[in-house]
Structure 1
């Protein structure tokens, strides 16, 4: 069988999580599509229903919501990260959160309904997405625990150690809201580290 083209970096990412056959890879490629989103534009707006799994192939995106009119960043997605609004994707209800490109961003989208049809024919695809959901859940729990048990300084240091290029790529206001602190507090923390 001829080698799969299409989205080789996405397939490499998938195969690092769960081995999938060439036939399954072809099936995934057949339902995947590319989305180019300019800096600061939305992939999905607040109030829309999420019906797509997104993977960042280049650039950077975030999930955010508004609380009392204040923009709060919940999640950053770098290259090869999945970005979805799970509460909307799995319930079919409109989301109170948005997905926004922080840089000019290229994403690969996979329709949730088309993916569901592949699960019956390709159990390895279903296992792959189950593992990715488990990984996302663990990351989410770790984030909640970080907010509960670590100081703002510790959360900032953790974030920097995981993503050293963060300050070059993300506006400080988004980093501060992600950490659950004000931009003034973030400036103080940054000054104390220098």
Structure 2
């Protein structure tokens, strides 16, 4: 029996792939494992190989690394109906440099590397979906890199506000500052100026 949470994953796949049959839906859902994770728990730690790609049904997660000085640098923040993983570790099957941590109690669906490869054979149309997904992840990573080099902190803040306004209600500001590559004090000043 499919549930409302299952339908979220199928809904997002169908946005990019036509003609997914009911049989295809069953195969897709059977390939994903549901997972409930409490707030402030790690689903990946450095030196572990990333075994899964996660679809966030409900919740909030971040990926980050800790530098030699012990400072955290946030690479991704993901909310409901999005994906999170360390794709470099996942595809290379080499150890990760990142933590992936839940910031809220989270409901996830996960799929392993081997199971994803098998699913491509069972539902060939899915290769298109994941190709688009991975292209978007690559473009997103480049845009973030370019933004930190070329855009002002104010522009980065305004872009985040435009694309993910709800993030400010759900994620501690210290994490948002880290994601934007600025200090919490700078973020406070930007927010005060923007509120005027």
TM range (shorter): over 0.9
2:14 corresponds in structure 1 to 15
User: Comparing 150-159 with 41-50, which one deviates more in the overlay?
Assistant: 41-50
Q: Name the counterpart of 1:42.
A: 42
Give the aligned partner of residue 27 of structure 1: 27
Deviations 1:128-161, CA, capped at 9 Å, x for gaps: 1111111111222221121121100110111011
Q: Would the aligned equivalents of 1:51 and 1:113 in 2 still touch at CA under 8 Å?
A: no
Residue matched to 1:75 = 76
Aligned residues: 191
SS across alignment from 2:100: strand
**Secondary structure, counterpart of 1:65 in structure 2:** strand
Question: In angstroms, what is the RMSD of aligned CA positions?
Answer: 1.3
Alignment partners' CA distance in 2, 1:125 and 1:184: 44
Please name the residue that 1:184 is paired with: 185
Distance 1:167 1:80 in 2: 17
Task: Please list, as runs of the form range in 1=range in 2, the aligned pairs for 1:89-128 lying within 5 A after superposition.
Answer: 89-128=90-129
Structure 1 residue runs without a partner (length 5+): none
Cα separation, 2, equivalents of 1:73 and 1:62:
7
Please report the TM-score for the alignment, with normalisation by the length of structure 1. Answer: 0.93
Q: Which residues of structure 2 form unaligned runs of 5+?
A: none
Residues of 2 paired with 1:121 and 1:10: CA distance? 17
